[in-house]
Amino acid sequence: GGSISYSAQHPNQHNALTKLALGGILILFGLRMLASMLFGTMFMLYLIGLPALYFYAVQTCPPAMTFNAKKELKRVLRGHHLPDTHPDKPQGMWEEWTARITATLTTELATFPGYEVQQHNLFDAVIGVKVTVPTANLEAYWIGAFSKWHYVYSRELEPRNAAAGVGTGTAGARASTSRR
C-alpha cells in the first residue's frame, strides 16, 4: 500500500484552511498598517502639541510673587475648592459668611507665630508651592499654572516635623523658601 495525503482526501478543507490563513495574514497586515498610521498621527500630535502646550504654559504661568499664602489658606479653610455637592461646602449666604469669618480667624491665628512658604519653579511652566503652618500642624500644596493658583491637597504634619516647626523640603529647580 501507499499512503494518501490529508489534502488529497479533503481538498475542500485544504482550500478553506489556506483561505483562512491568507485572510488572517491580510487582517494582521491591515491592523499593523492601521496601528502604524495611528502611531504616526499620535506621534505628530505629540511632536506639535507638546511644544505648543509647553509654550502656552510658560506664557500663562503666574509670577511667583503673586502667591499669597494667607489668602490661599483662607480659601481652602472656607471650602472654596470643594464641589458644590460636598457636604462640607457651605450652602447659602449665612453658611458662606460664617465660613469666611471662621477661615479668616483660623488663618490669622495659625499663621501669627509664623509659617514657611517653599516655591519650586519647574521649567518656567509650572510653580509648585508648599506652605507649612507648624502651629496648625498643616502642610498645604498648590500649583501655579495657566494664569492661576490651583489647590492640590493638604495634610497633617508628621510628629517629628511638627515638633521641629518645619516641613521636609524637596529638591527642585530654582527653589525658594521664605519664612514669615
* 165 and 135 co-located in one domain: yes
Pick 165 or 55 by higher pLDDT: 55
The answer, yes or no, to whether residue 145 has pLDDT greater than 50, is: yes
Give the residue from 136, 142, 141 showing the smallest Cα distance to 162: 136
pLDDT at 47: 81
DSSP string, 107-175: HHHHHTT--EEEEEEETTTEEEEEEEEGGGTEEEEEEEETTEEEEEEEEEPPHHHHHHT-PPP---TTE
* 98 and 148 co-located in one domain: yes
- On whether the CB atoms of residues 142 and 152 are closer than 8 A, the answer is yes
* 15 and 68 co-located in one domain: no
What grid cell was written down for 43? 506621534
pLDDT tens for each residue of 43-55 = 777 888 889 999 9
* 138 and 85 co-located in one domain: yes
Round to the nearest angstrom and report the end-to-end CA distance of the chain.
103
* 51 and 139 co-located in one domain: no
Instruction: Please give the residue range of the domain that contains residue 171.
Output: 63-179
Judge whether 3 lies within some domain. no
* 13 and 70 co-located in one domain: no
- On whether the CB atoms of residues 103 and 43 are closer than 8 A, the answer is no
What are the percentages of helix, strand and coil residues in the chain, rounded to 5?
55, 20, 25
Span 138-159, average pLDDT: 92
